[in-house]
Structure 1
Amino acid sequence: MLLVLYGFAVLFVVAWPTPVDESSRGLIFRVLGALHRRGLPEFVNYNVVEFCANIAMFIPLGLLVALLFGPRWWWAAFFVCAALSVSIEFYQYLLLPDRYATVRDVVANSTGGAIGMLAAVIAIAWLRRPTPISR
């Protein structure tokens, strides 16, 4: 159920006809400017924020898919995330002229999926660890 709800949220974001941050882009630039004046390195710019947002968006997908597949097939979650990301970018390229389809987004989304998948592997290993017998 959680995977379905998450899927609808991602669908909402990726199928929106214009970039979802379009109305808040000015605010993002003002916040970044204020942070740069307070010492944030200049390389942390809008592109870095957007890349990290794409990573963050796919972490739950990698986690949920790996948990759904279980201990034997957890690794397939990476391919599911990468394939979904490529599909999203093709969809945006073909059907949403105001959106930007990029390989960079596929890399970010796949990275997020891999992070989520690794979190699931750690959780599965932790839950399956033998418990010591107390006396």
Structure 2
Amino acid sequence: MSDDMAGAAPAHLRVRRALLWLIFYAVIVAVIVFWPQPFFSLLDPWIRTATAGFPGLTLVRVEFAANVGMFVPLGIFLAVLLPRRRYLVAPIGFLTTVMIESVQGIFLSHRSATAADVIANTAGACVGLLIVEIIDAVRRRAYPPTR
């Protein structure tokens, strides 16, 4: 992606901004995933009420979708921070999730480590990567590099 595209910030400012947002995001995720009680238990009554009118929408499906959504920003930030090594986004997302699930399973007695969470979180990181790739492709078509 060319730095002289209309409206694009210089590369070092984009990286700094992405890094700051990544740190902010990481703190929020850490609070959610390392909270002693499952975070969804706080929202359980509301979710049950909201899903009551939708037979296919279950608490398990809502939690899975939330886990995907929670890791989309990780994929976005990593794709911005690693523009030439984007192939690392999925493995980093996977390893991050395995670490989180391991800590939950070993140290947090009221939390459970599940393969479904690993799949959902890794998928979320991949969705974030896909979003950045699509935006970059659109920008390349709109602003072809000048030589």
The answer to whether 1:7 aligns with 2:26 is yes
Counterpart Cα distance in 1 of 2:23 and 2:60: 29
Counterpart Cα distance in 1 of 2:50 and 2:141: 44
TM alignment of 1:1-135, pairs within 5 A: 1-33=20-52, 35-36=53-54, 42-70=55-83, 72-129=84-141, 131=143
The residue type equivalent to 2:29 in the other structure is V
Counterpart Cα distance in 2 of 1:88 and 1:73: 23
- By how many angstroms is 1:89 displaced? 0.3
Contact in 2 for aligned 1:29/1:46 (Cα 8 Å): yes
Contact in 2 for aligned 1:92/1:99 (Cα 8 Å): yes
- By how many angstroms is 1:29 displaced? 0.6
Return the TM-score normalized by structure 2.
0.80
Contact in 2 for aligned 1:58/1:113 (Cα 8 Å): yes
Q: RMSD of the TM alignment (CA)?
A: 1.4
Structure 1 gaps of 5+ residues are 37-41
Structure 2 gaps of 5+ residues are 1-19
SS of 2:67's partner is helix
- By how many angstroms is 1:96 displaced? 0.3
Counterpart Cα distance in 1 of 2:71 and 2:102: 17
The residue type equivalent to 1:106 in the other structure is V
Return the TM-score normalized by structure 1.
0.87
